[in-house]
Structure 1
Amino acid sequence: MHLTTTSIIRHLALAAAFGAAGLLPLGACAQEPSWPTRPVRVIVPFLAGGSIDVVARTLAAELSARYHQQFVVDNKAGAGGTIGTDLVAKSAADGYTLLLTAQGPLVINPFIMSKLPYDAQHAFAPVSRVVDAPNVLVASPKAGLPTFDAFLQRARSGGAPLTYATQGVGTTGHVTGALLDQALGISLTHVPYNGFPPILTDVMQGRVDLMIADTVNVGERVRTGQLAAVAVASARRSAVLPDVPTFAEKGYPEIVAGPWFALLAPAGTSKAVRDKLSATVRDILAKPGIAARFQGMGLDIVGSTPDDLQGYMDKEYARWGAIIRKAGIQPVS
């Protein structure tokens, strides 16, 4: 084969290029995604001012500084979180619309609402489980239920059923009460309220025996002795209430319940983008100032990977569906 000087130079250049590529580290050709190149919208499907809103705005400020693009929190409340969640489900899967939600719209609403406008199992791509706020079973110090053993003995005594207050039918507190009944073999009487302040008043005055609320709402009141904590519904002791035992310690590891806040994107969003964002969220949560702020609010830091969150959501969906069906809690329209 006759080669001209020009073709020889061309072949040598190509060989040099491929040789150099062979010297590059693995994955160097698969560059990190350039996302974000414009502002990102973070939908929170609940009212402004609550703990999840504070978490969202804290993360948004940190992400804006990290990526030099604005992460804008947009509260779209209504229908137990369904309205804002549906908005994200129907958004473009381009990484520029995200959802920061509590677990209700993902693993509880599908079983307590007769019809959802989105498919909770398939409409979203996971990014990170950010924080947890375990539920706590608490009583007034005057109720005579200072420990788990005292509570269980009274609940199984055959006398008048103990009453427990929550912020409404179908809330995390309500389904946690159903879980307690099933796991402990007891029958508590649910007293639903509209909002937390009247619950606190009635429990403190003894009109209701107990309440189920998360560490955000009762952590400080337990620490100051205003309320007596029976047990925490978490797999391990909460950093917020380190002196309060878990139900697991008492022999009931299945009693794990309470709000968790997760960051998600519409289904189909690039895994590379989600991995990049998830790693950044974990870095942010590791900052001492951020961790201290969230723990001061009553939140336990998590910071999971996308794959970990997907596995966790799948298990939670199946678990809560079974609990709600067994409890006979009927879907509402």
Structure 2
Amino acid sequence: MKTPRRLFLATGALLCLALSQAHAQAWPQKPIKIIVTFAPGGSSDIVARLLQPGLQEKLGQVVIVENKPGAGSTIGANEVARAAADGYTLLLSNTAPISISPFMMDKAPYDPVKSFTHVAYIGSVPNVFVVHPSVPAKTMPELVKWINAQARPVNYGSGGVGSIGHIVGEMFKQQYKLNMEHVPYKGSSPMHNDLLGGTLQFAVDTLTQNVPYMKDGKLTGIAVTSRTRAAMSPTVPSVVEAGYPKLVADNFLGVSAPAGTPKDVVDKINKAVNDVVAQPDVAKRLADLGVAPDSMSATEFTKFVTDQVNEWAPAVKASGARLN
């Protein structure tokens, strides 16, 4: 016969197991929010809204996409890092708030690895060096020559301070000793207004939202920041092909949650994201957007993020780019 203490412990263990099983079966019981760290119209926003209907179907709950740009993407990322670890607040994680912005600050508000549970990988997309047609450059050497020929610093635009376009631009500037000044925008859409109008002549930006303008001849793609050409813009050479291999920089996209999110919830989100990304129509749409889709387990994605942080941190610090 069990003693009262043993009976109590056994009952407690059974209760914990029952609660755990109930939690696994119950989640989700309310709407799920995905925070996008850029303004509407950028690649992160487009991908989040592309996945939204499929995730709603897989998880059986409303999925809300909220844009929280600012401070080099750290505002939105910090909101997720500080949220309850219950799976109801997620981050459309990407290179900017994870691998770049924390290393542009004296004291980052979160740790890019430890403050999150990195749940699921979606894919990656390169940036592109793009110019207004008034710029007489069609290749990277010609772009360098044109910049050097200008009497004043050449302004280059990006989707914002701490964006991957910002850092790649600074790397380009420093490595080749170019007279350039960064002009940050609150997302790619407002930047394109100036770029298409000719007020801004040069930008480093995510490939996705530039391809339609490049196809229409409204912008000229000089090179993509990947090792090989992108399928959605096969006529534009890679920076490796152009002779600038140190500028290789892909922007990864994934889903992250606050640190401590229960494993059963992480597994459900991981499976839902992987299933949606694998759907033929979604995979094709991602490819059309310049995203090379893939899947990873949460463990694999965490290692990937850790490797990204270790790779980018020195380059960001060396660039001298700062977030005030």
The TM-score normalised by the length of structure 1 is 0.75
Percent of paired sites with the same residue: 31
2:177 matches 1:186: yes
Q: Which amino acid aligns with 1:107?
A: S
Is contact 2:228-2:238 (8 Å) kept?
yes
Q: How does 1:2-151 map to 2 (within 5 A)?
A: 34=25, 36-46=27-37, 49-51=40-42, 52-151=44-143
Q: How far does residue 316 in structure 1 lie from its aligned partner after superposition?
A: 2.5
Of the structure 1 ranges 86-95 and 123-132, higher mean CA displacement relative to structure 2 is found in 86-95
The aligned residue for residue 170 of structure 1 is 162
SS at match of 2:322: coil
Q: How does 1:229-308 map to 2 (within 5 A)?
A: 229-257=221-249, 259-308=251-300
Q: How far does residue 206 in structure 1 lie from its aligned partner after superposition?
A: 5.8
Q: Which amino acid aligns with 1:229?
A: G
SS at match of 1:269: coil
CA distance in 2, matches of 1:166, 1:94: 34
Is contact 1:234-1:257 (8 Å) kept?
yes
Q: How far does residue 44 in structure 1 lie from its aligned partner after superposition?
A: 0.9
CA distance in 2, matches of 1:274, 1:253: 37
Structure 1 residues 153 and 80, CA, compared in 2 at 3 Å: closer, same or farther? Answer: closer
Show structure 1 runs of 5+ residues with no match.
1-29
Q: Cα RMSD over matched residues?
A: 3.2
The aligned residue for residue 310 of structure 1 is 302
Show structure 2 runs of 5+ residues with no match.
1-20
CA distance in 2, matches of 1:232, 1:247: 6
Q: Which amino acid aligns with 1:310?
A: T
Is contact 2:115-2:259 (8 Å) kept?
yes
Q: Which amino acid aligns with 1:330?
A: R
Q: Which amino acid aligns with 1:186?
A: K
Q: How far does residue 162 in structure 1 lie from its aligned partner after superposition?
A: 5.0
Q: How far does residue 125 in structure 1 lie from its aligned partner after superposition?
A: 1.1
Q: What is the count of residue pairs matched by the alignment?
A: 300
Q: Which amino acid aligns with 1:234?
A: S
Structure 1 residues 136 and 37, CA, compared in 2 at 3 Å: closer, same or farther? Answer: closer
Q: How far does residue 331 in structure 1 lie from its aligned partner after superposition?
A: 3.7
SS at match of 1:145: coil
The aligned residue for residue 329 of structure 1 is 321
Q: How far does residue 158 in structure 1 lie from its aligned partner after superposition?
A: 10
SS at match of 1:133: strand
Is contact 2:35-2:80 (8 Å) kept?
no
Structure 1 residues 92 and 170, CA, compared in 2 at 3 Å: closer, same or farther? Answer: closer
The TM-score normalised by the length of structure 2 is 0.77
